[in-house]
Amino acid sequence: MSDLGSSQEYTSFRSSVSQNKIVVDNDPAKVWTYYDAGPRHIRCPLVCIPPVSGTADVYYKQLLSLSARGYRVLSVEYPVYWSMPDFCEGFRKFLDHLNLDKVHLCGSSLGGFLAQKFAEYTRQCPRVQSLFLCNSFCDTSVFQYTDSCFIFWITPALILKKMIMGNFPKTAKDPEIIRSIDFMVEKLDSLNQRELASRLTLNCTSSYVEPQKVNTIPVTIMDVFDEYALSQRVKEDLYKCYPNAKLAHLKGGGNFPYLSRSDEVNLHLRNKM
């Protein structure tokens, strides 16, 4: 078990915040897993969506810290969806099931892209009050697997995991970043082949955000200045997509600053709600 996974803080989280599972589609295999911390009377909570390698508990530091300050925070782990419209419709049903008409969305990497596409999807009847995009992107064409993502569904899980781990920094020296990587590898190992294949398909299928459809939503862009998976070009493209966005820069933090720099991330999240 990783250092974070065996830490007192994570143990406290697992013992104090219940894990919930619901089915919102006709398919009983499509189970949404989520954590819900903080006052239930808050009808516009923060909802966190993890990256490809993440499970719902990767935001445990946000769930604990922000709920202790009176905020309601949810972290979701979505079931297998193979297309963006199917994910967006499933997410809409998930929010409907919880009677959440309005939400703030926080997403990391793929989670941030999904958040943007959901904001697009619900633009006729707006559900998203704000977007917090952490090390995210607005166009999947930046990924090298866009031409081969149609075979992910038959690709062995071991190969899919190696593809994902190839984006993890190999020269990290910061102990907090190292611990965050170890924790995320642990979570990656818990995902099965269909979950990995569907997430990578969503991540790599040709798609992009149409900013004119979401430009009325307040956006905060968080990225780091040290090594992480996405390139400088991807970062600049996101800035161009949201020229009026609030920028939340971190000197360091790697791919997973919500774990390695949680205090700084939580402060920025509190300022957006």
Cβ-in-10-Å burial (0-12, 13-18, 19+) of 262 comes to buried
Report pLDDT digits (tens) over 111-138.
Answer: 999 999 999 999 999 999 999 999 999 9
Predicted TM-score of the model (pTM): 0.96
- pLDDT score recorded for residue 149: 87
Per-residue model confidence (pLDDT) at position 253: 92
Tokens of 222: 């968080």
pLDDT value, residue 196: 97
| pLDDT, tens digit (0-9, with 9 covering 90-100), for 155-194 | 999 999 999 998 887 777 899 999 999 999 999 999 999 9
d(CA 128, CA 63): 19
pLDDT digits (tens, 9 = 90+) for 216-264: 999 999 999 888 778 888 999 999 999 999 999 999 999 999 999 999 9
Q: What is the mean pLDDT of residues 78-93?
A: 97
Range with the poorest average pLDDT among 91-95, 190-194, 256-260, 268-272: 268-272
**pLDDT number for residue 1:** 85
How many domains, the chain?
1
The Cα–Cα gap between 50 and 261 comes to: 16
Region 89-96: what's the mean pLDDT?
97
Q: What residue numbers bound the domain in which 237 lies?
A: 4-271
pLDDT at residue 16 in the model: 96
Return the pLDDT at 228. 79
> Which pLDDT belongs to residue 87?
98
Express each pLDDT in 9-28 by its tens digit. 999 999 999 999 999 999 99
Average pLDDT, the chain: 94
**How far is residue 152 CA from its own chain's centroid?**
20
Whether the per-residue pLDDT at 273 is higher than 80: the answer is no
SS (H, E, C) the chain: CCCCCCCHHHHHHHHHCCEEEEECCCCCCCEEEEEEECCCCCCCCEEEECCCCCCHHHHHHHHHHHHHCCCCEEEEECCCCCCHHHHHHHHHHHHHHCCCCCEEEEEECHHHHHHHHHHHHCCCCCCEEEEEEECCCCEHHHCCCCCCHHHHHHCCHHHHHHHHHCCCCCCCCCHHHHHHHHHHHHHHHCCCHHHHHHHHHHHHCCCECCHHHCCCCCEEEEEECCCCCCCHHHHHHHHHHCCCCEEEEECCCCCCHHHHCHHHHHHHHHHHC
pLDDT digits (tens, 9 = 90+) for 51-76: 999 999 999 999 999 999 999 999 99
Whether pLDDT at 202 is above 90 = yes
Give me the amino acid identity at 246.
Answer: K
Closest CA to 44 of 112, 113, 98: 98
pLDDT score for 229: 76
Q: Is 225 exposed, middle or buried (0-12, 13-18, 19+ CB in 10 A)?
A: exposed
Query: Residue 176 sits in a domain of what CATH number?
Result: 3.40.50.1820
